Amino acid sequence: MDLDILNSWLTQNNLPKYRFSQISKNYFSAKYLKFDEMTDLPKTLRTQLDQNIKLLSVKEENLISSPHTQKALLRLFDNKLIETVLMDYGDWLTACISSQVGCPLGCTFCATGKMGFSRNLTSEEIIDQIIYWNQKLYPKYIGRLVFMGMGEPFLNWDNLLNSLDTINNKNGLNIGARKISISTAGIADKIIQFADLKTQINLAVSLHSANQQNRQKIMPIAKKYPLEELKKASQYFTQTTNRQIFFEYTLIDGFNDSAKDIEDLKDFFSNNHLFYLNLIPLNPIKGGLVPSSASSIKHFTQLLDRTNINYSIRRSFGQSIGAACGQLATQHLG
């Protein structure tokens, strides 16, 4: 819901200021699917709100499920489509949020990148993906957020920051900063700006190769922000925040899973103990690259064990329904 529009409408209709706080609280609670269910409001006001204000800026078009994962296709006001994913880790629920309709970066291993770019999401459309899931989960709530859905968050900077203010605010969605992660393809100047915000929000960077020529083959943005610039920005982040930065590394058969790639990683990491490597199995997409074999991954991790690089292998959810990392492409499935 656009709270500015709500506030203007209430003011134009000479309604008391406390109604804004009352309605906002109801909205963020995700308890109500429509204004008419907000029985703490007068019936006439509920009717007027239903007629004049959209409670959610997104509308469910399709919902599919697999064990531990749900993927929703959501329609926006201009009929554009986005996807958002819910992952159940047992002890907590995580939502994977989109920041753009499509993506302008064209990474070869990512289905969203093959869609092209349409537009940025508004801050309301970002927030309403979370409200959408919370409505389905009520009385449970999303406990953690990852901005790893469709789009490059740092290329939607203003709307990203506006949404984070509401997400993190105790009078908004009240999700703690340390339970929020933002993933960027390596927009170096924005990494520096993000560091200067001194936030506790986690930062992840899509690395996928520590060799400049190889990286720009699969990530065209690497030509604009080369590895050396990315490394300096990442070092600035750790020095400024004293927080870890997570480097995502999708293992691709015969491309980035060799002993030479380990040496490139060692050079990039340069013994920075706050650099952390997340190994990700490549999730298949139509016409995509080939994932490393189990034996290649085992050999790669054995070589990593001989270095001082801290790493882990990420669990992958939702591959069978096209909901895993790199698979979001607004498909009608189910």
In the numeric block, the tokens 């936030």 are attached to: 199
Q: What global pTM score does this model have? A: 0.91
pLDDT of residue 323: 45
pLDDT of residue 273: 96
Q: Note the pLDDT tens digit of each residue in 286-321.
A: 666 889 999 999 999 999 999 999 999 977 654 544
pLDDT of residue 316: 62
Element (H, E) at 19: helix 18-29
Average pLDDT (191-200) is 97
Catalytic residue among 96, 103, 107, 325: 325
Query: Is 96 an annotated catalytic residue?
Result: no
pLDDT of residue 317: 52
Query: Is 248 an annotated catalytic residue?
Result: no
CA distance linking residue 39 with residue 23, whole number of Å: 11
CA distance linking residue 234 with residue 243, whole number of Å: 11
Q: Note the pLDDT tens digit of each residue in 74-102.
A: 999 999 999 999 999 889 999 999 999 99
Confidence of residue 333 (pLDDT cuts 50, 70, 90): very low
Average pLDDT (67-78) is 94
CA distance linking residue 194 with residue 218, whole number of Å: 25
Residues spanned by CATH 3.20.20.70 within the chain? Answer: 59-321
Under a CB-based contact definition with an 8 Å cutoff, are residues 126 and 74 in contact? Answer: no
Of 322 and 15, the structure prediction assigns the larger pLDDT to 15
Average pLDDT (140-152) is 96
Confidence of residue 324 (pLDDT cuts 50, 70, 90): very low
- The domain 59-321 having CATH identifier 3.20.20.70: the answer here is yes
pLDDT of residue 67: 84
pLDDT of residue 177: 97
Catalytic residue among 83, 125, 152, 248: 83
The contacts of residue 239 (CB under 8 Å, 6+ apart) are none
pLDDT at 66 over 90: no
Residues above pLDDT 70, as percent of the chain: 93
Confidence of residue 196 (pLDDT cuts 50, 70, 90): very high
Q: Note the pLDDT tens digit of each residue in 23-54.
A: 999 999 999 999 999 999 999 999 999 999 99
